[in-house]
Structure 1
Amino acid sequence: MMDVDLLRPGTVPISPDTILWFEFLLNPSLLQQHLSKPSPDPSATDLIIKFMTINSDQKENEVKIVDSESNDTKPNTAVKWTHRNLALKILSLKVAAHLRWDLDILEKKLPLPIQLTLIQDLLYITSDLTVETPAVPEFTMHPMSDQLLFTTVLYHRWHIRAILYRALNNKQSKQQFLHIPGIQESTYVPPGVVDDIIRKLETLVSNSINVLNNVLESKDINPKMLSFDTFQMLSEDSTEIKQNWENMYSINLEEFKCQIHYDLARFHLLKEEYKEAKRHIIQAKELFYNLSNSEEKLYCKVQKEYLDGCCLACEVPVEGVTSSLTQQLQASIKDQYTILQADNISREIPQVYRNNLELDVQGGSVNRKIVVARDLLLQIQCLNLVRKILDDNIILGDYVTEIQAAGSKGIDVFFSALENVLEEASATDKKRISHYLLYLVHTSNIDRFASKILSNPSYMALFNENELDVIRKSASVEELEMPDLLLKNDWGIPLITYTQNSRLEIFGLEQKLIQSYDTNEIHETLIHLDGKHRMKPLWHVNSCWELPIPLQSVVMSLPRGFLQDYSYVLLAKSRELVISKDFEGAIEILNVLEKEVQQHSQSGNTLIFKLCKLVNWECLLVEIWRCFHIWPATSICDTQNLVTRCKQCLGALQATDQVIPRQEIIEYCIVFLLNMTEWEYLTSLEKRWSYSEFAAAISSVCQDIVKYKGGRKFPREAWDMVLAAFGPSRDQPQKRSNSGNSGTSTGSASRDVIASIGGTLNRLREPMVLTVVISLLARLRNVLRDESSLELHTQYLSLWPAGVPNSNSYNIRSIGELLFQLLTQALKYYPSNVPWLRLMGDLNFVLGYYESAIKYYLEAIMVASDLFSQPIPRSQIDDLVYRRMIKCCAHLQCYTQAAVLCQFLEEVDYTLAFKMAASDQKSCAPADAMDAYYYCIWDTTILEYLIQLHTKRGEHHRKQLAIKVIGSLELNSNNNEEIQREAANIRKAKFLRALAKQYVY
Structure 2
Amino acid sequence: MDVDLLRPGTVPISPDTILWFEFLLNPSLLQKHLSKSFPDPSPTDLIIKFMTINSDQKETEPKTIDVESNDVKSNGTNKWTHRNLALKILSLKVAAYLKWDLDVLEKKLPLPIQLTLLQDLFYITADVAVEIPTIPEFFMETASDQLLFTLVLYYRWHLRAIICRALSNKQPKQQLLHIPGTQESTYVPPGIVDDIIRKLETHIPNSVSALNDILQMIDIKPKVLSFDTFQMLTEDSTEIKQNWENMYLVNIDEFKCQIHYDLAMFHLLREDYQEAKRHIKQAKELYSNFNPAEKLMYCKVQKEFLDGCCLACEVPLEEVTLSLTQRLHASIKDQYTNILQILQADNIFREIPQVYRDNLELDVQGGLVNRKFVVARDLLLQIECLNLVRKILDDSIILGDYITEIKAAGTKGLDVLFWALDNVLDKATIMDKKRISRYFLYLVNTADIEGLASKLFNNSSYASLFDEAELTILQQATISDEVEIPDLLLHNDWGIPSVSFIQKARIEVFELEQKLIESYDSHVIHETLILLDGKHRMKPLYHVNGCWELPIPLQSVVMTLPRGFLQDYSYVLLAKSRELVTSKNFDGAIELLKVLDKELQEHVKSGGSLIFKLCKLVSWECLLVEIWKCFQAWPTTSVCDVQSMIVRSKQCLGALQASDQLIPRQEVIEYCTVFLLNIAEWEYLTSLEKRWNYTEFAAAISSVCQDIVKYKGTRKFPRDAWDMILTAFGPTRDQSQKRSSSGSNSGSSSSSRDVAASIALTLTRLREPMVLTVVISLLARLRNILRDESSLELHTQYLSLWPAGVPNANSYNIRHIGELLFQLLTQALKYYPCNVPWLRLMGDLNFVLNYYESAMRYYLEAIMIASDLFSQPIPRTQIDDLVYRRMIKCCAHLQCYTQAAVLCQFLEEVDYSLAFKMAASDQKSCVAADAMDAYYHCIWDTTILEYLIQLHTKRGEHHRKQLAIKVIGLLELNSNNNEEIQREAANIRKAKFLRALAKQYVY
Letter in 1 for 2:855: A
The corresponding residue for 1:810 is 812
2:756 to 754, 760, 783: 754
Alignment check: 8 A CA contact 1:93 1:118 kept = no
CA distance in 1, matches of 2:646, 2:576: 26
CA distance in 2, matches of 1:937, 1:424: 73
**CA positional deviation for 1:752:** 2.4
Alignment check: 8 A CA contact 2:118 2:154 kept = no
**CA positional deviation for 1:662:** 0.8
The corresponding residue for 2:542 is 539
The corresponding residue for 1:868 is 870
CA distance in 1, matches of 2:697, 2:59: 54
Question: Are the structure 2 counterparts of residues 462 and 931 from structure 1 closer, same or farther at C-alpha, using a change threshold of 3 Å?
Answer: farther
The corresponding residue for 1:562 is 565
**CA positional deviation for 1:640:** 1.2
CA distance in 2, matches of 1:44, 1:583: 58
Alignment check: 8 A CA contact 2:160 2:266 kept = no
Instruction: Give the number of the structure whose alpha-carbon radius of gyration is greater.
Output: 2
The corresponding residue for 1:620 is 623
**CA positional deviation for 1:926:** 4.5
Alignment check: 8 A CA contact 1:126 1:148 kept = no
Question: Are the structure 2 counterparts of residues 547 and 117 from structure 1 closer, same or farther at C-alpha, using a change threshold of 3 Å?
Answer: farther
**CA positional deviation for 1:754:** 1.0
- Residues 219-234 of structure 1 mapped to structure 2, 5 A cutoff: 219-221=221-223
- Residues 208-357 of structure 1 mapped to structure 2, 5 A cutoff: 219-221=221-223, 249-250=244-245, 252-253=247-248
The corresponding residue for 2:152 is 153
Question: Are the structure 2 counterparts of residues 849 and 259 from structure 1 closer, same or farther at C-alpha, using a change threshold of 3 Å?
Answer: farther
Alignment check: 8 A CA contact 2:159 2:262 kept = no
Q: How many residues align?
A: 738
CA distance in 2, matches of 1:110, 1:653: 55
| Range with bigger deviation, 876-885 or 38-47 | 38-47
2:996 aligned counterpart, secondary structure: helix
Question: Are the structure 2 counterparts of residues 574 and 94 from structure 1 closer, same or farther at C-alpha, using a change threshold of 3 Å?
Answer: same
Letter in 2 for 1:252: M
Letter in 2 for 1:893: Q
The corresponding residue for 2:586 is 583
Query: Which of structures 1 and 2 has the larger relative contact order (alpha carbons within 8 angstroms, sep 6+)?
Result: 2
The corresponding residue for 2:322 is none
Percent identical pairs in the alignment equals 64
CA distance in 2, matches of 1:739, 1:806: 22
Alignment partner of 1:633 is 2:636: yes
**CA positional deviation for 1:795:** 0.9
Question: Are the structure 2 counterparts of residues 400 and 695 from structure 1 closer, same or farther at C-alpha, using a change threshold of 3 Å?
Answer: same
2:767 to 760, 765, 768: 765
Alignment check: 8 A CA contact 1:122 1:151 kept = no
**CA positional deviation for 1:271:** 15
The corresponding residue for 2:414 is none
CA distance in 1, matches of 2:439, 2:142: 66
Question: Are the structure 2 counterparts of residues 891 and 213 from structure 1 closer, same or farther at C-alpha, using a change threshold of 3 Å?
Answer: farther
The corresponding residue for 2:907 is 905
CA distance in 2, matches of 1:191, 1:657: 56
Alignment check: 8 A CA contact 2:594 2:622 kept = yes
Over residues 136-174 of structure 1, what are the superposed CA-to-partner deviations in whole Å (9 max), with x where a residue is unaligned?
A: 98x886564457525513532652686699779736999
| Range with bigger deviation, 99-108 or 502-511 | 99-108
**CA positional deviation for 1:442:** 12
Alignment check: 8 A CA contact 1:792 1:839 kept = yes
The corresponding residue for 2:533 is 530
The corresponding residue for 1:343 is none
Over residues 879-918 of structure 1, what are the superposed CA-to-partner deviations in whole Å (9 max), with x where a residue is unaligned?
A: 1111111111111111111111111111111111111111
**CA positional deviation for 1:739:** 2.1
The corresponding residue for 2:922 is 920
Alignment check: 8 A CA contact 2:870 2:991 kept = yes
Alignment check: 8 A CA contact 2:627 2:675 kept = yes
Letter in 2 for 1:583: F
Letter in 2 for 1:713: K
Letter in 2 for 1:652: A
**CA positional deviation for 1:88:** 4.6
2:433 to 424, 431, 434: 431
CA distance in 2, matches of 1:131, 1:389: 65
2:657 to 654, 674, 689: 654
CA distance in 2, matches of 1:497, 1:123: 95
The corresponding residue for 1:992 is 994
1:637 aligned counterpart, secondary structure: coil
2:825 to 810, 818, 823: 823
CA distance in 1, matches of 2:711, 2:209: 51
Question: Are the structure 2 counterparts of residues 789 and 98 from structure 1 closer, same or farther at C-alpha, using a change threshold of 3 Å?
Answer: closer
- Residues 679-758 of structure 1 mapped to structure 2, 5 A cutoff: 679-729=682-732, 733-742=736-745, 746-758=748-760
2:511 to 508, 512, 537: 508
**CA positional deviation for 1:102:** 5.3
Question: Are the structure 2 counterparts of residues 979 and 424 from structure 1 closer, same or farther at C-alpha, using a change threshold of 3 Å?
Answer: farther
- Residues 461-480 of structure 1 mapped to structure 2, 5 A cutoff: none
Question: Are the structure 2 counterparts of residues 732 and 441 from structure 1 closer, same or farther at C-alpha, using a change threshold of 3 Å?
Answer: farther
CA distance in 2, matches of 1:423, 1:111: 63
Over residues 99-149 of structure 1, what are the superposed CA-to-partner deviations in whole Å (9 max), with x where a residue is unaligned?
A: 459579999999799969979998999999x99948998x88656445752
2:576 to 564, 573, 580: 573
Alignment check: 8 A CA contact 2:897 2:919 kept = yes
| Range with bigger deviation, 244-253 or 598-607 | 244-253
2:899 aligned counterpart, secondary structure: helix
The corresponding residue for 2:338 is none
Letter in 1 for 2:962: Q
**CA positional deviation for 1:929:** 3.8
The corresponding residue for 1:884 is 886
Alignment check: 8 A CA contact 1:947 1:963 kept = yes
Question: Are the structure 2 counterparts of residues 423 and 261 from structure 1 closer, same or farther at C-alpha, using a change threshold of 3 Å?
Answer: farther
Over residues 627-653 of structure 1, what are the superposed CA-to-partner deviations in whole Å (9 max), with x where a residue is unaligned?
A: 000111111211111111111111112
1:775 to 764, 774, 777: 777
Alignment check: 8 A CA contact 1:389 1:433 kept = yes
User: Unaligned 5+ residue runs, structure 2?
Assistant: 1-52, 63-73, 96-104, 177-188, 232-238, 270-279, 306-388, 401-420, 446-459, 467-498
**CA positional deviation for 1:423:** 12
Over residues 434-457 of structure 1, what are the superposed CA-to-partner deviations in whole Å (9 max), with x where a residue is unaligned?
A: 4579899999xxxxxxxxxxxxxx
Over residues 590-632 of structure 1, what are the superposed CA-to-partner deviations in whole Å (9 max), with x where a residue is unaligned?
A: 0000000000101151000000010000000000000000111
CA distance in 2, matches of 1:968, 1:839: 38
Alignment partner of 1:521 is 2:508: no
**CA positional deviation for 1:562:** 0.6
1:838 to 837, 840, 843: 840
1:788 to 784, 787, 790: 790
**CA positional deviation for 1:874:** 1.2
CA distance in 2, matches of 1:462, 1:203: 69
Question: Are the structure 2 counterparts of residues 549 and 136 from structure 1 closer, same or farther at C-alpha, using a change threshold of 3 Å?
Answer: farther
The corresponding residue for 1:52 is none
Letter in 2 for 1:877: I
CA distance in 2, matches of 1:438, 1:44: 84
Alignment check: 8 A CA contact 1:111 1:189 kept = no
RMSD: 5.7
Alignment check: 8 A CA contact 1:783 1:803 kept = yes
TM-score w.r.t. length of structure 1: 0.63
Letter in 2 for 1:951: T
CA distance in 2, matches of 1:535, 1:206: 74
Alignment check: 8 A CA contact 2:686 2:702 kept = yes
- Residues 373-412 of structure 1 mapped to structure 2, 5 A cutoff: none
CA distance in 1, matches of 2:81, 2:442: 72
TM-score w.r.t. length of structure 2: 0.63
Alignment check: 8 A CA contact 1:134 1:204 kept = no
CA distance in 2, matches of 1:601, 1:578: 27
Letter in 1 for 2:158: H
Question: Are the structure 2 counterparts of residues 768 and 834 from structure 1 closer, same or farther at C-alpha, using a change threshold of 3 Å?
Answer: same
Letter in 2 for 1:653: L
Alignment check: 8 A CA contact 1:778 1:819 kept = yes
**CA positional deviation for 1:246:** 12
